[in-house]
Amino acid sequence: MKIGIYYSYWEHEWRGDYHRHIDRVADLGFDILELSCASLPTDRAELISLRDHARDRGISLTGGHGPGVNASLCSDDPAIVSNAKAELTGHLKQLELLDAHVVGGGLYSYWPVDYNRPFDKARDWANAVRNVREMSFVAADHGVTLALEVLNRFEGYLINTSAECRRFVEEVDHPNTGIMLDTFHMNIEEDSFAGAIRTAGNLLKHVHLGEANRRVPGKGRLPWREIGNALNEIGYDGACVMEPFVMQGGTVGQQIRVWRELEQDVSEQALDADAKESLQFMRYMLKEV
């Protein structure tokens, strides 16, 4: 399994100097850097330059995407659905230029969810299945897999468990759409980590790693051996991307609800050292035993 990290660990806003992040994660020993689709460059030459830089440093790129409320594939409003399709299509083109083949996130809905708005889960589910299916064909054209992230109840209402995601993906029924699990969300919703991973099985296409409070893996109490064994048991060979959030402040801190520093030292140097240590820990935990 290849191990990566989401760039926003080091950022307060959903943007960053991706060239710098490529060098950083390569120096730390990672295989993958995950980027935010919303802040990808639109310039073709810049995308190709990022692709080449990553290639030179032996780094694969993956995309993360959290569509906003006005670009939701589960909406009943045709204008919002059409925004969502146009936005995702644009990102799929960008990802193809980056030689990135997976985009993960709550692609079937919007984020952060606003529970002050009324919703109808059955209706939104049907809308989402239809629209995700349509987008699967576009994704296939660009060589990208749509990995639908299972989100906890506080961040989404459509897909909260691996079993729900399997049902959704089976209804979509397209090889370019699969399941994405995130240990942070699983810790809230799933009866069993290994059980949820087995339920996802051959449909699992992307994984996020994080502790219950979103510190780097190894600094909390999630059962990493159980998680690693289950991933090996199902023959998972996709990406495992750490998604730690440890700093308060900025849009990232606000939207992720980080109201305190999760580490005593959040200097760049300390964040790098923690990421490196966590990478070594996860290489051990994800190794087949």
Instruction: Specify the residue, 210 or 218, whose C-beta has the smaller distance to Mn ion.
Output: 210
Name residue, tokens 């230029």. Answer: 97
Instruction: Specify the residue, 104 or 218, whose C-beta has the smaller distance to Mn ion.
Output: 104
Cβ of 260: how many Cβ atoms within 10 Å?
8
Instruction: Kindly write out the interface string for residues 262-281 of this chain, putting x where it contacts Mn ion by CB under 5 A and - elsewhere.
Output: --------------------
Q: Which residues pair with 33 in a beta bridge?
A: 5, 61
Asked if residue 34 binds Mn ion (CB under 5 A), the reply is: no
Report the C-alpha gap between 205 and 203 in whole angstroms.
6
Asked if residue 31 binds Mn ion (CB under 5 A), the reply is: no
Site size toward Mn ion (CB under 5 A) is: 3
Beta carbon of residue 283, minimum distance to Mn ion (angstroms, whole number): 20
> Contact region for Mn ion (CB under 5 A) — 71-79, 136-144, 165-173, 201-209?
201-209
Options 11, 34, 149, 211, the catalytic residue: 149
Tell me, yes or no, if 149 is annotated catalytic. Answer: yes
Beta carbon of residue 169, minimum distance to Mn ion (angstroms, whole number): 17
Tell me, yes or no, if 13 is annotated catalytic. Answer: no
Q: Which residues are catalytic?
A: 149, 243
Interface with Mn ion (CB under 5 A):
182, 208, 243
